[in-house]
A and B are shown apart, each in its own frame.
Chain A
Amino acid sequence: MLRIESISKTFYPGTVNERRALDRLSLILPDGDFAAIVGSNGAGKSTLFNAIAGSFLTDSGFIELDGEDITFRPEHLRSREIGRLFQDPLMGTAPHMSIEENLSVAYLRASGSRYSFFSRVGKREKERFREQLSLLNMGLEERMDQPVGLLSGGQRQALTLLMATMVTPKLLLLDEHTAALDPATAEKVLLLTENIIRERKISCLMITHNMNQALSLGNRTLMMNRGTVVLDVSGEERAGMTVQDLLDRFAGNAGREFNNDRILLSAFPKGSMREEAERGERGREERRGGEEP
């Protein structure tokens, strides 16, 4: 169980850039809960993940995982129990190491004694890697000697997912981990994520900008604004909700409209608006790419 008690974090305190990213945020995530988090840009979603994972220490409040106070535990020790996936598929794997070596790093980090520095991966583990890779259905089990840098974004993200859950974590943090993938791959990775989470009953927090996902995935929806949780629905209340309800509730709670194009666009899945926006975004990206020397 994850218990967050009134954590706050202010960036650049005492300067003109001072920004309160987390504002007395409290949250309890019971074992096996899978919560989707939505919120405007700058609402503090990623900051919350960074605080939980230990990328920085919070200014006040405390964080407990499974009854243990981890508020001041360094990041690399927390990551024994917290798995994490980023939006950028390049961030979760080492490109010049082979698939097998990447899996070995993930496997060796959490298994066995903390001080078994010289342990190596044996034949039996390699067989296990092969089995798990075959579950991804991407043919990666035949390419275990190849460097990860040769894989596509979707394959790398699937591999990262496998690595993060190789030894079941107490908590899984998914930071828009399918946002950078093409729609078909994104769906595949998402399905994979759901399966793993369901089978192993992993507690999970997932940031998404897709309102439909926010309501359909997992068993709970959280909405953040200005560094705190403004909406927390689950059970029947959530089951009866539509995307429009969610948007209305946000406006009601936050006292303002959503400021995020991507959220609003994803709220109308098959509308022309979305296509147009995607085209626009692609165009923008091309222009941006063109400017580079």
Chain B
Amino acid sequence: MTAFLTAGIIRTALEVGLIYSLVALSLFMSYSILNICDLSTDGCYTLGSAVGAVLTIAGHPILGIFAAMLAGVCSGYVTAFLQTRLGVESILAGIIVNTGLYTVNLAVMGFSSNLSIFGTETIFSLFQGISGSAFWQDWSSLILLALLLLLTASVLRLFLSTRLGLSIRATGDSPAMVRASSINPAFTITVGLCAANSLTALAGSLIGQYNKSSDINLGIGMVTIALASLVIGETIFGRKKMTMRILGVVIGSCLYRLVIAVALRLKAPTEAFKLVSALIVAFAIAAPRAKELLSFERKRRRAMRERRRERGEGHA
């Protein structure tokens, strides 16, 4: 087993999984809680990585993280503005913003389609520099990411039980109730999407510094990958307790990356991954309905059989 999956491979899978889990948490916020499909995720992820990379190259890796989150907030605000104030369909609003972000991202990167970070410190190299021990050299990135995730997940958990957080949850859960209570859905949707997109951009800026590069096509398919993680997490941990749900999203994302790592070791073609994630999401989301149809069909068959038997006996 150790030969098949080395510590290094598992570590890398967990590191990337933790970064991706931020995007999954973002979708948890918009898709699971607010019940909105925010398709600007792809663009926002790239935006985060572009902003983060530009500032890291300029020598400000930590500022880069916060600037990327701020950029994510702006992107989320535009998406929310389109759907709450201007009446654009929520899915369409995401697509529009996503398209617009492509140009914005190019502009951020100085109209080049990729950037490389070299010669300057990243938050990972800064953190790694704390100690010279061999263990620290290997594991510092994972520890840093785990701490970041712990912080983010705790803040998210606390936020969701504040008045504003509860209002956001109610907005996604029962639009009718929201209308009758003094919650302004336009406001809660805006706050929710801003928070969600700041997480997406945070993930983007982290992956940028992690890979020491940023690419204009980095975010393609990110929505589906994150949704796959989300679905895996919710399948394993259920949808009951909020803390468990958040934890499930993070673990789901790590599991997803581990699966990918195994697939890579088995020399599965990397081109197939997006199709596989798409299939996972499609199956997982369609599963409840499919189960329903199957059980209905079974019931129908049984009823038909019984009727036939009764009629048969009647004739005899």
Contact = CB atoms under 8 A, between A and B. Distances in A.
Given A109-B163, A119-B162, A79 B180 contact: yes
A202 to B, nearest CB: 16
A120 B161 CA distance: 7
A97 B181 CA distance: 15
Interface stretch (B104-112, B168-176, B262-270): B168-176
A80 B163 contact: no
Nearest to A119: B163
A74 interface: yes
A55 interface: yes
Interface centre among A77, A119, A120, A164 (most CB of B within 10 A): A120
B220 interface: no
B255 interface: no
Interface string B181-203: 11111000000000000000000
A118 B162 contact: yes
Interface string A73-94: 0111111100010101011111
Contacts of A97: 166, 169-170, 173
Contact of B174 (A55, A75, A79, A93): A93
Given A97-B169, A97-B170, A53 B180 contact: yes
Contacts of B167: 105, 108-109
B163 A108 contact: yes
A95 interface: yes
A86 B162 contact: no
B177 A93 contact: yes
A213 B154 CA distance: 51
Interface string A118-154: 1111000000000000000000000000010000000
A15 interface: no
A96 interface: yes
B302 interface: no
B149 interface: no
A92 B182 contact: no
B181 A105 contact: yes
A109 B173 contact: no
B37 interface: no
Contacts of A163: 181
Interface centre among B169, B179, B185, B240 (most CB of A within 10 A): B179
A6 interface: no
A55 B178 CA distance: 12
B182 A94 contact: no
A91 B177 contact: yes
B92 interface: no
A102 B167 CA distance: 10
B166 A105 contact: yes
Contact of A77 (B164, B174, B180, B182): B182
A105 B170 contact: yes
Interface centre among B162, B164, B185 (most CB of A within 10 A): B162
A95 B178 CA distance: 12
Interface in B74-111: none
A255 to B, nearest CB: 35
Interface of A: 53, 55, 74-80, 84, 86, 88, 90-97, 101-102, 104-106, 108-110, 116-121, 147, 163-164
Ranked nearest first, the 9 interchain pairs of A and B with the lowest CB-CB distance are A94-B173, A91-B176, A108-B163, A117-B164, A94-B174, A76-B184, A79-B182, A80-B182, A84-B180
Given A55-B179, A79-B179, A86-B180, 6 more contacts: A53-B180, A75-B179, A79-B182, A97-B170, A109-B182, A109-B183
29 contacts: A74-B184, A76-B179, A76-B181, A77-B182, A88-B176, A91-B180, A92-B176, A92-B180, A94-B174, A95-B173, A95-B174, A97-B170, A97-B173, A101-B166, A101-B169, A104-B163, A104-B166, A105-B163, A105-B170, A105-B181, A105-B183, A106-B181, A108-B163, A109-B181, A109-B182, A109-B183, A118-B163, A120-B161, A121-B161
